[in-house]
Amino acid sequence: MEAIQLSLSKGIYGLLKNHLKFNTNLSDYNKKKLEKELKSAKVLPNKSLPLDVVSINTTVQVRDMETKAVLTFDLVAPIEAKISSKKISVLSPIGVALLGYYVGNEVIWEMPEGLKTYKIEKVSEIK
C-alpha cells in the first residue's frame, strides 16, 4: 500500500507526538507506523483541515475489510468518550489509527485482536 500523507491539526499533531512518546501500550508495529506518519504529516490550523479528514469531533464511518462490517462512531476527546453512546476517544486504538486519513483511504493498524484494515467511507462534523 502506498504511503499517504496525513493532514492533522496542530493540536492533534501534538497529542499524537505525546501519545507516541509516553504510551507504552503501543505495539512496535504501531509505533513505527505512527512515527513515520508524523514525520511526513501536513500540519494545518484546525479551521484549514479538509472536511473529509478524520479528526477530533468528527463522525466517522469505516468498513472492516475482513468482515465487511460497517462501524459508525464519533471521535472525541478522551474525557468525552462513552462507548455506549458510540463516542470513541481519539487516543483509542482505532482513533489513533484513523486520525489524519481521508475518506477513501484504507488504514492498516494493529488492534488488540490483531492486524486490521479499515476503509474510511464517510467523515462529517459531529452534529
Distance CA 88, CA 44 (A): 23
Q: What pLDDT score does 56 carry?
A: 96
Contact 62, 119 (CB under 8 A): yes
Q: In this structure, is residue 1 part of a structural domain?
A: no
Number of domains into which the chain is organized:
1
Q: In this structure, is residue 2 part of a structural domain?
A: no
Q: What pLDDT score does 23 carry?
A: 82
Model-level pTM?
0.93
pLDDT tens digits in sequence order for the chain, 127 residues long: 567 899 999 999 999 999 999 987 889 999 999 999 999 999 999 889 999 999 999 999 999 999 999 999 999 999 999 999 999 999 999 999 999 999 999 999 998 889 999 999 999 999 8
Q: Find the domain containing 98 and state its range.
A: 7-125
Strands 70-76 and 87-89: parallel
**CATH, residue 107:** 3.10.50.30
Contact 102, 7 (CB under 8 A): yes
Q: Is the dihedral of CA 82, 85, 120, 42 positive or negative?
A: negative
